[in-house]
Structure 1
Amino acid sequence: MTLLAESGDVEGAIEALRPGADIGDENAAYRLAELLAETGDVEGAVGTLRARADSGDENSAYRLALLLAETGDIAGLRARAELGDRHAAHRLALLLAETGDVEGAVGTLRARADSGDENAAYRLALLLAETGDIAGLRARAEAGDRNSVHRLADLLAQTGNVEGEVGTLRARADSGDENAAYRLALLLAETGDAAGLRARAEAGDRHSAHRLALLLTQTGNDKGLRARANNGDENAVYRLARLLAETGDVAAAVGTLRARADTGDDNAAYRLARLLAETGDVEGLRARADSGDENAVYRLARLLAETGDVEGLRARADVGDRHAAYRLARLLAQTGNIEGAIKTPHARANIRDENAAHRMTEQLAKTGDIEGLRGRAIAGDGQAAYRLAWLLAKGGDDRLLRFGFSIDGSVADSRDW
């Protein structure tokens, strides 16, 4: 059929497709309707698609609505819309709006929206907003339509009616609409309404609590932040600590975060370790690291490395601090002490610390230590064997790369061992 149409025999293609369409072949029906429309037989195309649409074929219903809209058949669309065809209803509303019949478009969409059609509800709210129908939007918003709530809020904002926007969003937020709660908190923050934010934050709204802490920080209101922090607001705790640190009261900032961290707050522990590191407080980090705070362990090793404290790193590496061992090996290598760097992670490498083993193998390869690599390879270190093979190959001996090891641990000469 496609070949007939492409060769110019459209009539032949139509006749060939018709039997398939008559027995329910959807592809034949779609192609037949398309060819009929192309040849000007819109009525035939509509009839073909209607037959399938009436049998429950959603794709045909969609194509039929599109065809009726393209030909401006308002009566045809209305007839199908009245039968409950959502595709026809949406196309009818669009066509009515384009021809200036906004009232008809609104009525069509409202009927569908009231029956539970979310797409129609969305389109209706959009149309009401585009036409500036605040009353229409408010009526639907008060009836619980979230699409109308947000469109109404946008429209009120555009007209400068902030109070109306706040009221609209608050009504929805109080009914459990998270999006409305987020937008309301953002609006209150933008207008500097700390009292409004506080009231909602104290009622349990997390969006308002977050925006209030941010607003208090921006205005330098440490008393307000402290009050919120004392009431258990974690956002306020973090913001207060940052504000105190920025204004030079590091001790108070540390105390604020420590109190929260000691209750098991991992975020506070992370922020505390970062602050101690930023202020160079080695002893503060050491105390927390020794008490088991992994954030402090990591930050301490990093700080000791940044200050070049080899002995401090060595002391911590000797008691099993993997972060310190890594930083120590790296620091020694950077200062040219390759032998020391290689020896540093040995103990940890031999108890299967993969990171340490990897670092040691890389150091052995960089220094060209063939025997060291051979020992690691024979002990089962695959990475060391790989590095040794390439190192030997570079020197002209590619046997290990090609054949591997013999049973006795020597390099094999062939694959026959």
Structure 2
Amino acid sequence: MTANHRSWWGAPRTITNTIENRKISWLELFSDLVYVVIIHSFVENLSAHFNLYGFVTFWVLFLFFFNTWTNMVLYFDLHGENNLRNVCFALLQIVAVAVTATFTPDVFAGHYTGFILAYSFNQLIYMYLYLKTMIADPLHATTTRPFLIAYVVGEALFIGSIWAPSLAVQQGVVILSLLIFISTVMAESGNFDREFKLRDIPFELNSAVLERYGLFTMIVLGESLAGIIEHMSEEHTHLTDYTHFVIAMVCIIGTWLLYYTLMDEREITAHRYWPISLFRGVHRFLIACLTLQSFFIAQTVESNDPVYYRGLLIVTALILCALLALTAPKLYNVTPIAPRQVTWLCVGIAGTVLMMGVPATIGSVVIDLILLTLGGWTWIRAELIK
């Protein structure tokens, strides 16, 4: 009975059963689609809550949802199999994330109960999946057991916050539980070192995981395009509108060009686990900044308010800083970018910050030139090396 059950339902792949040159499955691509709507919801709600509380809420929600995405990406990569079990749980998780996303406006409005319950159900799915990997592969308990214990503690606090005596206390407990969720893997890097060395597992991010990050980045850039196109479809009566539209388009194109030329075929390996975890953390920050860039681009095109323009400059400079942090350190890069590229990225960061005192239209054009120049030069250099 057990053998037949396994034949049609399947079991999780053990962490040592690696798949060489693994390609992203159609199921993984489909699971990313739900985040298109989530990113759009972030931008729309931030527009309606453009204040300190709105920005804190954005970061909290982004980190919650991206933590779910990261956990499922790693599960697919380390334990995913082409079987009915994997398909069913992946589809269930997609539905759970979608339901959780419907509570995004409530969180921006200061109401957390629905989000907490929906997100907790979503987390229980992959907590169960990771528990099953530990049962199927007892040696994997070295890293999985502490992970699950931390998440149980975090979930207890998270759900318990529903009965907090005040909104401020509830918000504090929610943030505390979030910190537990996002820091757990980094905190137990020593456990990963022991298991990976014992089982001869390389400390690396394979091409499939890096491609998933690239696809998520494409989702965010798509939201940037959607925002400015939506604005132009509603209001395009003056030449000035088209000028701002083109400037915004070039900013998105320049960001796209620079990201993908720097990240294309990048190899990420290390001698310990924490640099790999650090790389993922920096990439998470980069994608958050790209989401904020989408928001500020749309708002700058719509209102031309100096506040939004300065916000765009800040997040663009942070994006360049994050790209520098992802590509320059030898800590996890097999082929870090050349010193000259580091210098020019630093010049680009400084130039972006200096545009703070320049009128929005002129400064935006300069930012476009910086992004296009950096991206184009990086692409040409990469082609010449090939």
TM-score (norm 2): 0.22
For CA contacts below 8 A with separation 6 or more, give which structure has more relative contact order.
2
